[in-house]
Amino acid sequence: MPVLPPGLSQETFARALDEFRSAIGGEWVFTSDVDRASYLDPFDIGEQDDHACAAALAPAGVYDLRRILEIANRHRVPVWPVSMGKNFAYGTAAPEMRGSVILDLKRMNRILEIDEVMGTALVEPGVSFFDLKAELDRRQSGLWMSGPSHSWGSVIGNALEHGVGYTPYGQHAETICGMEVMLADGTLVRTGFGALAGSREWQAFRWPFGPALDGLFTQSNFAIVTKMGLWLMPEPEGMAGVSISVPRRDDYAEMIDVLRPLRMTDVINAPYTIANGWRQITGGRTRGEAWQGPGAIPRGRMEELLAERGQGWWSLIFNLFDSPAALDIRLEKIRAAFAAIPGATMSVRRWEKGQPQESWMRQEVGLSPLGVVDWGGSPGGHSDFGPVVAPIGARAEQVYAIIERRFLEYGKDPWIGMFGISSRALIFVADMFFTRTDAEDTARCRALFRQLCQDMTEIGVGLYRTHLRFMDDAVAMHGWGDQALPRLNNRIKAALDPNGILAPGKQGIDSWPGTERSEA
């Protein structure tokens, strides 16, 4: 069944497609059912067809892009840009608004620059983590990349979504330095010092003369990002891989209070990951081997499984980056701090520059983390509920307790982790695994997610990132000042994209005619 952009007749859309074909070449305009199906979300928490695209276009560069936008504006065709389109758990390559046309930017895949002296790179949207790693290796570069746990995605797409890696450069949005963006009317803009012809400083300094606009184009639909500058980390002299096991459920608040000063003072100088008991029992077994009864795996059964392997209720892992002597000092401070928690154990691995790399260093590229999605049944899917929480023991405990209780209430395993991504924030990742073809299961996950939005709103906690299905729910949580912030976003959107053609509905921001959001 053909899918049309909302409000467009078949004839008008057919005319627009013909114009797209003559603009960028027929082979780069995808309209068959098979081609369109490849842009569905394999992990959708409901009917994939709710987010089906009408077609997909693959421009070769900014010249094609400008022609596409001119046609899209003329015919009011909504377009949804993706870089690699591997946004698994949050929508993959599918659009928020059914009937949007995907702008697949994979062909724009040049690594334009790697500056060994300044430790920076300038890349296009179609550069994946595999590509960047291969290029750094080919050059025998002295710079390291920070990537997410799977490497299929785009360096730009991931940074735009505020993605996470596991080095000191692991808060990827913070490594952005300078962008080139195309506005909805086809204007090409370079942010920061990129606005000066011949600048040597575009990738050097994030705070230009005037407003710093890079952030405006992350998690937004205000423009299409066509180039991005990034900071890369100089290879460290050494690394330590730290695993800490904390024995009791009730140690949680104390563990957070121990971690906070270590992270704030940069003793722990990269994001840490905390896994609760349910998250730890996944390794090396199927869910059916763990539990065959109804509902969520009960806490007692989970604790039995932990005990079999001698695991504590909480597992904490992170890597440290420094010279060998400085690592010794960091490790000593961490050991001393965790001595405050009775029974906490710590194990450490070490690496020094020149030695072969090992998997715990997380410098390899690969896809293996994606295997976990079948934990809840096949064909599996997963998404997560991701509140951002101050790393203060009492606050983190308040949020954790609500999430665990609700997961159990809704019959879902509370598979909860947290990332100490920045020095002052914990991002929870409460994963919901489901069998994608089981309508009751996916409906339960949606209800759980919305229940948690309500719970978090009551205590003033917002979200990091969501699946397409929940973008309106997440934005509605920002109620202060009569929704002043969402309304401001919609005003900026209306000014930059009056026809509302760029990614309508992205993060709940819109100027698509006729929608409530467009009238803000």
Rule CB under 6 A: choose which of 29, 68, 105, 132 binds ligand FAD. Answer: 105
Q: Is 475 in the site for ligand FAD (CB under 6 A)?
A: no
Stretch that binds ligand FAD, among 155-163, 188-196, 261-269, 482-490 (CB under 6 A): 155-163
Q: Is 29 in the site for ligand FAD (CB under 6 A)?
A: no
In the numeric block, which tokens belong to residue 455?
Answer: 């719970």
State whether the Cα torsion 8-10-15-18 is positive or negative.
positive
User: Which amino acid is it at 102?
Assistant: I
Using the minimum distance from each CB to ligand FAD, give the nearer residue, 230 or 344. Answer: 230
CB of 133 to ligand FAD, least distance (A): 14
Stretch that binds ligand FAD, among 154-162, 327-335, 343-351, 401-409 (CB under 6 A): 154-162
User: How many residues belong to the chain?
Assistant: 520
CB of 366 to ligand FAD, least distance (A): 11
Using the minimum distance from each CB to ligand FAD, give the nearer residue, 39 or 410. Answer: 39
Using the minimum distance from each CB to ligand FAD, give the nearer residue, 181 or 327. Answer: 181
Using the minimum distance from each CB to ligand FAD, give the nearer residue, 218 or 269. Answer: 218
Backbone torsions φ then ψ of 16, nearest 5 degrees: -60, -45
Using the minimum distance from each CB to ligand FAD, give the nearer residue, 344 or 496. Answer: 496
Please identify which residue in the block is written with the tokens 């895949």: 109
Rule CB under 6 A: choose which of 123, 156, 432, 453 binds ligand FAD. Answer: 156
The whole-angstrom separation of Cα 436 and Cα 415 is 18
Tell me which H or E stretch contains 380. strand 380-385
In the region spanning residues 388 to 417, those forming contacts with ligand FAD, defined by CB under 6 A, are none
State whether the Cα torsion 147-152-156-162 is positive or negative.
negative
Rule CB under 6 A: choose which of 59, 78, 163, 500 binds ligand FAD. Answer: 163
Stretch that binds ligand FAD, among 27-35, 152-160, 190-198, 241-249 (CB under 6 A): 152-160
Tell me which H or E stretch contains 10. helix 10-24
3-state secondary structure of 136: helix
Q: Is 372 in the site for ligand FAD (CB under 6 A)?
A: yes
CB of 105 to ligand FAD, least distance (A): 5
Stretch that binds ligand FAD, among 24-32, 85-93, 250-258, 295-303 (CB under 6 A): 85-93
Q: How many CB atoms lie within 10 A of CB 76?
A: 17
Q: Is 213 in the site for ligand FAD (CB under 6 A)?
A: no
Q: DSSP state, 54? A: S
Rule CB under 6 A: choose which of 158, 191, 245, 282 binds ligand FAD. Answer: 158
Q: Is 279 in the site for ligand FAD (CB under 6 A)?
A: no
Stretch that binds ligand FAD, among 23-31, 133-141, 143-151, 249-257 (CB under 6 A): 143-151
Spatial neighbors of 303 by CB under 8 A, at least 6 apart, are 277, 313
Q: Is 85 in the site for ligand FAD (CB under 6 A)?
A: yes
In the region spanning residues 222 to 241, those forming contacts with ligand FAD, defined by CB under 6 A, are 224-225
In the region spanning residues 43 to 72, those forming contacts with ligand FAD, defined by CB under 6 A, are none
3-state secondary structure of 259: helix
Q: DSSP state, 166? A: S
Q: Is 370 in the site for ligand FAD (CB under 6 A)?
A: yes
- What is the total count of residues that contact ligand FAD (CB under 6 A)? 32
Alpha helices in 459-509 (DSSP H): 471-476, 480-496
Stretch that binds ligand FAD, among 277-285, 308-316, 367-375, 386-394 (CB under 6 A): 367-375
The whole-angstrom separation of Cα 162 and Cα 174 is 8
In the region spanning residues 484 to 513, those forming contacts with ligand FAD, defined by CB under 6 A, are 503, 506
Using the minimum distance from each CB to ligand FAD, give the nearer residue, 334 or 468. Answer: 468
Largest CA distance in the chain: 71
3-state secondary structure of 330: helix
Q: DSSP state, 449? A: H
CB distance 359 to 317 below 8 Å: no
Spatial neighbors of 82 by CB under 8 A, at least 6 apart, are 93, 102, 103, 104, 105, 157
CB of 358 to ligand FAD, least distance (A): 19
Rule CB under 6 A: choose which of 109, 149, 398, 483 binds ligand FAD. Answer: 149
CB of 459 to ligand FAD, least distance (A): 25
CB distance 193 to 205 below 8 Å: yes
Cα–Cα separations (whole angstroms), residue 92 to 13, 85, 231, 336: 25, 6, 26, 43
Interaction site with ligand FAD (CB under 6 A): 81-89, 93, 105, 125, 148-150, 153-154, 156-158, 160-161, 163-164, 224-225, 369-370, 372-373, 503, 506
